[in-house]
Structure 1
Amino acid sequence: MTESGALIGFLLGLGLLLIWRSGTRAPAPSAKRPGRQQQLLAAAGLTGINSAQLLALQIGLGLLVTVVVLLTTSTVTVSLAFGLFGFVIPHVQVRRLADKRRADLREVWPEVVDNLSSAVRAGMSLPEALSALSTRGPEVLRPPFARFAADYRSSGRFGAGLDRLKADLADPVGDRIVETLRVAREVGGTDLGRVLRTLATFLREDARARAELETRQGWVVSAARLAVAAPWVVLLLLATQSTTLSAYDTPMGTVILVGGGAVCLAAYRLMLRIGRLPQDVRVLQ
């Protein structure tokens, strides 16, 4: 009886241990997702710069503009206002580069998909088809695919190479293409060629429609920039009259500068929102 009880207790304890071991486990730690600033730099193609370096550039340029305007006008509030503009300029330039790169990629993605579709029909494997784009693909996209080819040759891990490729491309269309190839690799099937041809047709239609809309609405962005820049250019021209600028060092002058800057910023953001077309979001990154 004692031996039977011990055996039952042992089996019960073993069962409880197995139940505990099969329970929900904490997920494996994943790589930290890049911040919005780092994603913006990647979208602009500035992969060699991190967000800390961009912030240092903004601070340095802001201080430089502040000192130059202060030495020119001897007015603290005006120099601080233009120093703030100097601080914002690098971020604005990076955003413009990101928009330009996104527009350039929008024109070449159909060619990439066509090359992949042709390679699949020719019987090439997916790693070979992607690696071939490093020599046959569009010039602007050859470096990311060349890095993928080097990664795959060195490690042989297709999934890890796709993750690195997505990070290098930093584009919503690239994410969709990569995930389509990943699913085709893992699940298999004979519909990949048809899916790629359909995607190429959709991308061409989307690029054509966006080009027409951006041409028609480009005046909105130009008008917003002109409306924001005009009063500050006039203020800078007043730098030759020190008696006029000295009024901005008073409390009332400071209030006017701050209020004017806030109104200009709000109006600029509003006009950009009105004139900006919806952008694809990287939901598959």
Structure 2
Amino acid sequence: MSLILGGLLGLGLLLTVSPLTWPARADGLSAAPPPFRGVRDALAMAGLGGVPLPMVAVVCAVLAIVAGATAQAVLQIPVITVVGAVLGGAVVPLVVHARATRRRQANRAVWPDVVDHLVASVRAGMSLPDSVAALAELGPAPTRSAFGSFAADYGRDGNFSACLDRLKGALADPVADRILETLRMAREVGGSDVTAVLRGLAGYLREDAALRAEVVSRQSWIRNAARLGVAAPWLLLLVLSSRPETLVAYDSTAGSVLVLVGVVVTTVAYRAMIALGRLPEERRWLR
């Protein structure tokens, strides 16, 4: 009986860890576990797709230690030391998120041009793999490196579907997913309407980019007000910390509670303000 229970326990543990250790696709391509797919997509969009996740965690830990040690050396207030360590550890995620957001917004304007180049190549008689590979030289500059990697990859093994999967991982963009899945379907199913579908997609992408640019420009004051509202009280705290009596006050229990409450309030207020001025982003459904 104990042998059967031990076997069932081992089987349960194996099934628990299998999504984290085994590939999610039958073609052997490695895939990040679901909890880390968003992190991997953000790194890829920020141009850091080749950086391992453990390295990112190590850098975050080092920055947290340095920021906490600096806060302790300057102010010598435990609660502010903890806050400084948390802020130091959050620097890398914030920088990666900001860079990924900027690149996503910049790419939104170039995807219609990518589709136009694909339509021109297909109408000129080029095959779909050659049309995609030609974007390494003819496509917009921000996407040439990814399509250049596709061209080299396809030249090595000639597997169009697998190369598209790797290209989607490198671009990490929902618009790119839709374009590449359209090409995959045209390659596997066939049909003469691929150029019409791509032209319709290009028109929709141009309209969406123009609308988003107008809304973002009108709501920029919300983001600026959120940043100012978050930074102002902490800048005031740094100015007041130059007085010894202020350090003594914040080193007490009441001062520590006040700092912690201030951190929670500013964080919630900042997230609320950003949420009010944020447009809904497309998710990567076609991984």
TM range (shorter): 0.7 to 0.9
Moved more, 81-90 or 230-239: 81-90
Matches within 5 A, 1:36-55: 36-55=38-57
TM-score, normalised by the number of residues in structure 1: 0.87
1:71 to 59, 70, 73: 73
Aligned residue for 1:148? 150
Aligned to 2:184: 182
60-69 or 47-56, larger mean C-alpha shift: 47-56
Matched AA of 1:151: D
Give the Cα separation in 2 of the matches to 1:256 and 1:169: 44
Aligned to 1:250: 252
Equivalent of 1:97 in 92, 96, 99: 99
In structure 2, the partner of 1:216 is 218
**1:111-260 mapped onto 2 (5 Å cutoff):** 111-260=113-262
State the alpha-carbon separation in 2 of the partners of residues 33 and 283 from structure 1: 15
3-state SS of paired residue (1:284): coil
Residue ranges of structure 1 left out of the alignment (5+ in a row): 1-27
Displacement over 6 Å in runs of 4+: none
TM-score, normalised to structure 2's length?
Answer: 0.87
Give 2:185's aligned amino acid.
V
- Change in Cα spacing, 1:63 to 1:29, as seen in structure 2 (3 Å) is closer
Deviates more, 1:230-239 or 1:175-184: 230-239
Deviation of 1:142 (Å): 0.6
Q: Would the aligned equivalents of 2:136 and 2:143 in 1 still touch at CA under 8 Å?
A: yes
1:239, distance to aligned residue in structure 2 (A): 2.4
Which structure is larger by alpha-carbon Rg, 1 or 2?
Answer: 1
Amino acid corresponding to residue 160 of structure 1 in structure 2: A
Q: Aligned partners of 2:40 and 2:24: how far apart in 1? A: 21
Can you list the C-alpha shifts for 1:162-197, whole angstroms capped at 9, x where unaligned?
001100110000000010000000000000010111
Please give the alpha-carbon distance, in whole angstroms, between the structure 2 residues aligned to 1:258 and 1:280.
35
Matched positions, count: 259
Deviations 1:135-168 (CA, angstroms, capped at 9, x unpaired): 1111110111111111111101111110011001
Secondary structure of 1:240's match?
coil
What letter is aligned with 2:224? Answer: S
In structure 1, distance between residues paired with 2:52 and 2:126: 37
Q: Which residue of 1 aligns with 2:280?
A: 278
